[in-house]
A and B are shown apart, each in its own frame.
Chain A
Amino acid sequence: MDAALVLEDGTAYFGDACGAPGERGGELVFNTAMTGYQEILTDPSYCGQGVVMTYPQIGNYGVNPEDDESGRCWAEMFIVRQLAARPSNYRARTSLREYLEQRGVPAIQGIDTRDLTLKLREQGALRAILSTECLDAAELAARARRHPPLEGRDLVAEVSCQEPYRWSEGLPCAFPSPELGCAAASGALPLVCYDFGIKRNILRCLVTSGFAPVVVPARFPAREALALRPAGVFLSNGPGDPAALSYAHAAVAEIAAAEVPILGICLGHQIIGHAFGGRTVKMKFGHHGANHPVIERRSGRIDITAQNHSFMVDPDSLEGTGLVVTHWNCNDGAVEGLEHVRLPVFSVQYHPEAAPGPHDSNHLFRRFRRRIEERCGAPAR
């Protein structure tokens, strides 16, 4: 045993180090997806958080060059029951252990991850320190308590791009989505994508749905965004507390006022809530997984969705904002989608781009394009 994971309440787990050496702190969340650890590790939304995988056998299929969701690993630390010694998959280029070491993510295995999960479920997300340097539980607990909480933190600054860039890659043809196919739609519409921690698969889905995305930094001024004369604006997912992003709230309000169609996902959805005067609240342990049923109020359609959020829009704060709830979580009734009564503004809390997760809601991207076309009077595709 050469690694310790200690929670702010003093609970200590000792196990085997299976990633990079060192010590990291963060808020712990559990993820119930049984596949997709590589995508999870590289999802910028996990910045500031440590991830506990509830599925016990992780690393089975190794790591490959195609499944990274961003340029680096963002999860602060990685906690698993058992890491595969050797991967088995034709796409694997390296083992997960080597990958974690190379990408500097401390990880621990051999601990009872279900016990930890139940603890997080009961007590809510907790701060923790994972260390391969210090195994003193009391000391680590004290450090965990000193670690800044997620509330009030703007982590977007850490993950957003520095400069605008264009994205042109669509979904890989080897894995066609039933909703999108794999051929990019023609007549791509210009789209400004605010990068609050954007995942690559969102961009791929957008391209395949007929958009030409320009990715811009989180603090990109609304005026400049509008000056690009986009057909629409996309607000990405991202880490941290949505309430702390007042610059983004203001930018979105300005873009919406210009009646440019907006689609928000996850953090983007929460920013829309704030932009129109709503509030977000921190959830007990959030939604992190790939099996959350979401119902669309109007159609009654249920999609099984990928989710990753610790904050949510407070439905009681929406009165007078012009926003109405379009989607609900079937499990716990959380707000999963919003729409403005008058403006072309839509958002979902879950991840229609999946990666990892089910493709059920891939159709949202195409629907966004259709809405734009209808608005512009262009023939619906």
Chain B
Amino acid sequence: MSRAAAWVVFLKECRESLRDRRVLINALLIGPLLGPLLFVIVLRLTVARQIEQAARPLPVAVAGAEQAPNLIAALEQQGLQLLPAPADLAGAVRSQQLDLALRIPAGYADAWRAGRPAQVELFYDSSRQGVLAEVQRLEAMLQGYSQRNAALRLMARGLSPTLSAPIVVAARDQATPQGRGALMFAMLPYFLVFTAIIGGMWLAIDSTAGERERGSLEPLLINPVPRDRILLGKVLATALFGLASLALGLLAFMVAGWFLPGDQLGLSFNLGPHVVAATLPVMLPLVLLIAVTEILVTAFAKSAREAQAHLALVQILPAITSVVLSFAPIKSALWMYVVPLLGQQLIILRLLRGEPIAPAAAILATVFTLVAALLVFWAARRSYQTERLAISS
């Protein structure tokens, strides 16, 4: 009888929650949609910025432009926007009135005509954020102009232009298109974890702190049912809602993927049906861990409001590993799969990148997360045995 009690509790919690608009909105709407929506918005903004940067005119104050009309015309073709130069170029850059400035010294034209190296001076402050990208862009323009003219001069003397290029560097970027996409996607596992947390959250609050607040916990615990069965029923119901939320969230991500301007960024990412199908079993142990943690954290809250405050911490914690992973991409080692959350995040990232998953990694992540879930369940079980738990006032 008592084994079936967990099932009885599970069914009742599900039935009650299906009638609760707040639970439904969170589990089936906000949880699954918030992540993908934020994700698309963030990606779109990033993409828009990158495209804008590439096409944007590059305003540069140039002193002595009249010395080198050909050079300036060539630079302007590539997006240079000529600004009038103040008398003190270095000072204007130092006082941050200008991002960068170019000076063409008085001897430029003579040197050019004589075929000596003609100097131009570039002023900038490398300690300022974002300036280096502009400096690089301008340097590349100048280099391009210089090389084209070097080739012309060699040809004018009847020599092959290849003489001036003893070494040619051919860049072979090994990042696969999926790899670059996955870097952008480093936050995606967190959104999935977040979705699972939101999905079970209200059910957990309602079935623990809510029961105490409404005074239905004490009569419930007087039934001839061991408390861990009641606990188990509540954990499973929370996990089911978390899982439903996660499944819907994955579908939403799949749909959101269609609206991402992947080709504009030269990215492609792999969020097809088979990745979605593989992600669910990877996340399942984590969903259980999340559910049992939610039940434990809310068990002693005096009110639903207090429980909500406690759960805010649970929501933030998984963000930490995600932020670390996306800003300091560490080389994945096998031990990392032992850490719940980290393991699943790494596996999902590999799935997104279209890389194979080592069976050992998948097994480690699953087993250790399940062990963690059991440990938390054991802690929750202990706290459920205390007298204090049942007392409403």
User: A and B: partners?
Assistant: no
